[in-house]
């Protein structure tokens, strides 16, 4: 859960006013390139770690000669074609060379046309996995490694998706999807990962990934936003406090029909945490979490600590208008300094990004949670 790998030159050019490049390619469902650099005049990509389907896009294509307006199911921008938009964001260096970062792969979902433009909205491959509902029970054997269970299910629902899941050391109990009216495979798989302390997502390179839930405490920033004239932060930054979802502990209860269910009480017991349960902030329990994955005290505790990690810092959020940078991703730790916000070197974890695809689209808008509750 970090930014797309780019060179050191990339960051230097961004800070110095890089010449920015963007393009949108269209690929067939097989992955074959159908048309590169389709002309467009507006668009954006939104990434939200709080949503099951993280990435969405909107692109408006100019179509004065009506060649892009879909007339048949198999046309380039028809939602019935199964085609995907793949936008890219790049930097041109003084020597004329270019460096590019992918922004994701987006299945066409809507495409209204008015005779002059075609506006396409797209969703990342997780939406197609959600749509490929379980028609029959899908069983997973007891003691299957978490990453193997997820990889097999992803291959079953989306055979064309690249999968690179890290090893977890977690063995899951016997699990069957599609039995209780839950027919959304992607939601089932992300819930399975979350119930074991992990996050499952599809990255900007169209690859499924798995990582522990991000914790703002102890996170190593991958980028320092700088300050003064070297800052990436533009005018309009804001800081907000809201503790409505800043829970810091509670009960984790297992589900079992043949044994006494496991029950564990966990709290944020780190004195350096902004939501330390045994300090001034007090105890703010979440609604009891019940899951069949909590088959042991260790499993229940792991889930509880991951839930604390997800919520730590949620009481204070930063809204940051930034110089656009297409290499960013959510769950990315950054270091923020802003005298206007009374923030000095604080570590924040990015939760949401809206990246414009054109220079006229304005700044990149970022929402992040931080480790400090008070300035």
Residue 199 inside a domain? The answer is yes
pLDDT tens digits, one per residue of 78-99 = 999 999 999 999 999 999 999 9
Structure tokens belonging to residue 1:
């859960």
Does a structural domain hold residue 237? no
Which pLDDT score, from 0 to 100, does residue 1 have? 62
Task: Please give the pLDDT value at position 134.
Answer: 93
Domain boundaries, position 279:
249-311
Residues 12 and 117 in one domain: yes
- How far is residue 4's CA from residue 1's CA, in Å, rounded to a whole number? 9
Residue 66: inside a domain, yes or no?
yes
One domain for residues 31 and 98:
yes
The pLDDT value recorded for residue 326 is 96
Residue 373 near residue 315, CB atoms below 8 Å: yes
Q: Do residues 277 and 268 make contact, with C-beta atoms less than 8 angstroms apart?
A: yes
Residue where the block lists tokens 């992955």 = 31
For residue 374, the model assigns a pLDDT of 39
How many whole angstroms separate alpha carbon 267 and alpha carbon 261?
Answer: 20
Domain end point (choices 62, 91, 124): 124
65 within a domain of the structure (yes/no)? yes
Regarding whether 34 and 106 lie in a shared domain, the answer is yes
Residues 136 and 120 occupy one common structural domain:
no
| In a shared domain, residues 23 and 54 | yes
Q: What percentage of residues in the chain have a pLDDT greater than 70?
A: 96
Pair 100, 17 in one domain: yes
The per-type count for the chain, helices as H runs and strands as E runs, is 5, 24
All residue ranges of the chain with pLDDT < 70 are 1, 181-182, 228-229, 256-259, 372-375
Backbone angles phi, psi at 74, to 5 degrees: -90, 5
Domain boundary among 262, 289, 311: 311
Looking at the fold, whether 264 and 170 belong to one and the same domain comes out as no
Tell me the CB-side half-sphere exposure of residue 365, using CA atoms within 13 A: 12
Query: Are residues 118 and 15 part of one domain?
Result: yes
Query: For position 142, which CATH number holds?
Result: 3.55.50.30
Same domain, 261 and 203: no
One domain, residues 108 and 155: no
The β-bridge relationship of strands 333-338 and 223-224 is parallel
Q: Number of folded domains in the chain?
A: 3
Question: How far is it, in rounded angstroms, from Cα 85 to Cα 100?
Answer: 16
* 249-254 vs 263-267, strand pairing mode: antiparallel
CB neighbour burial string for 256-288, b if at least 16 within 10 angstroms, e if fewer: eeeeeebebebbbebeebbbbbeeebeebebee
**3-state class (DSSP) for residue 251:** strand
Domain-terminating residue out of 265, 288, 311: 311
Looking at residue 375, the DSSP 8-state letter turns out to be -
Co-location of 136 and 164 in the same domain = yes
pLDDT digits (tens, 9 = 90+) for 156-201: 999 999 999 999 999 999 999 998 766 899 999 999 999 999 999 9
- On whether residue 265 sits in a domain, the answer given is yes
pLDDT at residue 275, as a whole number:
86
Same domain (yes/no): 38, 110 = yes
pLDDT tens digits for range 280-316: 989 999 999 998 888 888 889 999 998 898 888 777 8
């Amino acid at each position: 859960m970090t930014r797309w790998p780019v060179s050191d030159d990339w960051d230097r050019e961004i800070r110095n006013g890089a010449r920015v490049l963007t393009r949108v390619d269209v690929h067939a469902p097989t992955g074959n390139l159908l048309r590169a650099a389709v002309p467009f005049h507006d668009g954006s990509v939104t990434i939200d770690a709080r949503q099951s389907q993280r990435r969405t896009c909107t692109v408006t294509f100019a179509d004065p000669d009506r060649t892009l307006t879909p007339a048949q199911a198999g046309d380039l921008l028809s939602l019935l074609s199964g085609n995907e938009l793949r936008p890219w964001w790049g930097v041109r260096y003084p020597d004329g060379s270019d460096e590019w970062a992918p922004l994701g792969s987006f299945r066409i979902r809507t495409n209204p046309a008015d005779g002059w433009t075609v506006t396409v909205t797209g969703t990342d491959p997780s939406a197609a996995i959600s749509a490929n509902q379980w028609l029959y029970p899908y069983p997973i054997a007891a003691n299957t490694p978490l990453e193997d269970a997820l990889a097999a299910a992803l291959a079953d629902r989306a055979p064309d998706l690249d999968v690179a899941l890290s090893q977890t050391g977690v063995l899951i109990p016997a699990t069957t999807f599609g039995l209780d009216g839950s027919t959304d495979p992607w939601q089932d798989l992300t819930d399975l990962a979350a119930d074991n302390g992990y996050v499952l997502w599809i990255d900007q390179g169209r690859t499924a990934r798995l990582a522990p839930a991000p914790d703002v405490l102890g996170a190593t920033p991958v980028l320092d936003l700088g300050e003064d004239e070297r800052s990436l932060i533009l005018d309009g930054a804001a800081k907000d406090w809201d503790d409505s979802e800043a829970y810091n502990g509670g009960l984790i209860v297992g589900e079992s029909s043949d044994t006494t269910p496991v029950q564990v009480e966990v709290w944020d017991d780190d004195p350096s945490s902004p939501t330390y349960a045994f300090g001034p902030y007090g105890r703010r329990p979440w609604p009891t979490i019940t899951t069949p994955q909590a088959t042991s005290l260790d499993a229940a505790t792991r889930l509880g600590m991951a839930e604390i990690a997800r919520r730590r810092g949620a009481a204070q959020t930063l809204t940051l208008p930034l110089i656009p940078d297409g290499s960013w991703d959510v769950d990315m730790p950054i270091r923020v300094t802003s005298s206007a916000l009374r923030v000095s070197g604080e570590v924040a974890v990015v939760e949401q990004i809206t990246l414009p695809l054109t220079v006229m689209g304005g700044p990149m808008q970022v929402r992040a949670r931080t480790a400090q509750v008070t300035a």
